[in-house]
Amino acid sequence: MRRYLFIETYCIGSHALFAEGLSAHSSHHIDIVTMPGENWRWRMLGAALYIVDNIPPLEQYDGIIVTDLFNLADFKALVGSKCPPVLVYFHENQMTYPQPPGDKGVFQLGIINITTALAADMVVFNSTMHKDAFLDAVPKFLKRGRDFRPEGVAEKIRNKTKVLYPGITLQLSNDVNVKKQIDPPLIVWNHRWGFDKNHEMFFSVIEELNHRKFDFRLALMGENFGMIPEEFKKAQKQFKNKIVQFGYVPLRKEYERWLKRGAIVISTANQENFGISVIEAMIMGCAPLMPNRLSYPEILPEPFHEHFLYKNRYDLVEKLCMIISDYKRYEHIQGLLAQEMRALLWENVAKGYDRALEQLAT
C-alpha cells in the first residue's frame, strides 16, 4: 500500500464525489485536504498560496493528486524539490468551457490549465472527448499571444495523458423495478442549474409535451448555489401541478430515491465532459435522452444510441413522446442499459486508478 495526498480546492458536487469515491475504493491510502466549493476563480488563482502552509509534510507521500481548479505550477514552485510526483485530474477546463460574454479573465484561467498540465507528472482526463478537445484547444489558445508563442505544448502534455472515467457513487441494495416509475412517468432533471446545461431548451420541450396533452411529472434537482434562473421560476408556476420536487436535494439517499422513482432523464447540455448525473439516473433505471454529441456517444454503449441519443430538438421531442406513449416497449432495453452502466461504479473502475497511481509513484 502506498500513500497519496489528494488536494481538492473546490470540494463540492462531482469534485467532492470523485475525491471521496477514490479514497474509499482505492487499495492505497489516500489523505484528502479540501477547501470549500466556492469562489472557484480565486481557487485557481490563489489556492496554492494557502495550501502550501496547510497540508501534512509531503515526505510521507508517494504522490499527490490535484484537479483542474488549481495552479499546480505555483504549488510546485513554492514547495520545491520535496514535492512528490503529481497527477492532475481534469474534470473540466477553462479553454473549452462555455464562458459568459465579455469575460476578460478567461485567458489567464486557460493559461493556468495549460501550465498545470505541463507541471504535472501525469495528466488524466475524464473522457476521450475531453482529452481531445483540450489538446486541440491548446495551440489555438496560445495563438492568442501577441508574440513569442510557444510551440509543441500540446504534444508535451499528450505524452503523459490517460483517460479514466470517474467512478459512480450509488447505494444499490437490489435491482431497480422500473414498473413502479411510469404512472404517470416522472421526468428527471438532475443537472446543475447553469447556463451551459441549456435549461431553456429543456423547458421548451416540456412545454410542447404539455401542449400535446401528455401526462407526466417533473423532478427538478441539481445544484443551483442559491441562484434560481428565471426559466426555473417560470416553470415552477407554469407546471406547479406536475412538479413533485423543485430544488437541490443535498441528502444522497433522498436523491437516489428520486432517481429510482424516475422514468426518464433528459440532458440538453451545451457542455458535458462526462455526465455523472445522467449515468447515475441510468443505473437507477431511467431511460436517458441525450444529445448525439459531447461525451454522450462515448459514454453510452453503441447498441443504445438509436434509442437514446437525439440529433436536434425535433428529434428529442419525438423520442420523448414515443417513450412516454409506449413505455413498456422500453422496459427491457432500459433494464439492459442499467446493468451495462454499472460497469462505471467505483468498485469496477478503482483498479484502473490504482494502476495509474502505482505508475505515478514509480
Residue 103 has pLDDT above 80, yes or no: no
Q: To which H or E segment does residue 157 belong? A: helix 153-158
Considering only CA atoms, which of 209, 173, 169, 174 is closest in space to residue 189?
A: 209
Residues 115-127: pLDDT tens digits? 999 999 999 999 9
Q: For residue 98, what pLDDT is reported?
A: 82
Could you give all domains of the chain from N- to C-terminal order, each with its CATH number? Answer: 3-167+346-361 (3.40.50.2000), 178-344 (3.40.50.2000)
> Can you tell me the distance from the alpha carbon of 39 to that of 52, in angstroms, rounded to the nearest whole number?
19
State residue 54's pLDDT score.
Answer: 96
Q: How many Cβ atoms from other residues are within 10 Å of residue 22's Cβ?
A: 25
DSSP-derived secondary structure for 286-349: PEEEEESSTTHHHHS-GGGHHHHEESSHHHHHHHHHHHHHTTHHHHHHHHHHHHHHGGGBHHHH
Q: What are phi and psi of 223, to 5 degrees?
A: -70, 140
Nearest to 269 by CA among 249, 248, 292: 292
Q: Is the pLDDT of residue 181 over 50?
A: yes
DSSP string, 256-290: HHHHHH-SEEE---S--SS-HHHHHHHHTTPEEEE
- Cell numbers 416540456 correspond to what residue? 206
DSSP string for residues in 55-108: S--GGG-SEEEEESSS-HHHHHHHHGGGPPPEEEEES--TTTS---TT-TTHHH
- Chain position carrying cell 479514497: 23
Task: Report pLDDT for 174.
Answer: 58
According to the model, what pLDDT value does residue 162 have? 98
Residue-wise pLDDT for 143-175, tens only, equals: 988 899 999 999 999 999 999 999 999 987 655
Radius of gyration of the chain measured on its C-alpha atoms = 21
CA distance 4 to 358: 10
Per-residue confidence at 178, pLDDT binned at 50, 70, 90? very low
Q: Is the pLDDT of residue 50 over 60?
A: yes
